């Protein structure tokens, strides 16, 4: 299940999470964001319990996007133990995302 992340819950849900967290920065008007969404949703279901998946709408959460220097979307950030460990910018297939997460 995907979680809607906001400035209000980001610290609790991402930075204080016991499991790694994949954060998808997206917007409703972004074509590649809509294309990557089914892959991100599938990963959320398949890895439930070992990976938390959250989405940040950059139009609603501008300060959060700025805090992490989001320049283009979709941008996926991977957090582990409250620290940003990796990022992926732009459209990726589910296979590419799985390989990235497994590396």
* Residues designated as active site: 30, 33
Q: 52-57 and 75-80: which strand pairing?
A: unpaired
Write down the residue that tokens 């133990």 correspond to.
Answer: 81
Alpha helices by DSSP H, 9-61 = 10, 31-46
Note whether 19 and 53 are within 8 A (CB).
Answer: no
């Amino acid at each position: 299940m995907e979680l809607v992340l906001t400035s209000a819950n980001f610290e609790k849900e991402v930075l204080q999470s016991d499991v790694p967290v994949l954060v998808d920065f997206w917007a409703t008007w972004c074509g590649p964001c809509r294309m990557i969404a089914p892959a991100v949703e599938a990963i959320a279901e398949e890895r439930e319990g070992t990976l938390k998946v959250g989405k940040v709408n950059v139009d609603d959460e501008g300060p959060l996007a700025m805090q992490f220097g989001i320049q283009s979307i979709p941008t996926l950030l991977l957090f582990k133990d409250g620290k940003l460990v990796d990022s992926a910018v732009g459209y990726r297939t589910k296979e590419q995302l799985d390989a990235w997460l497994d590396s």
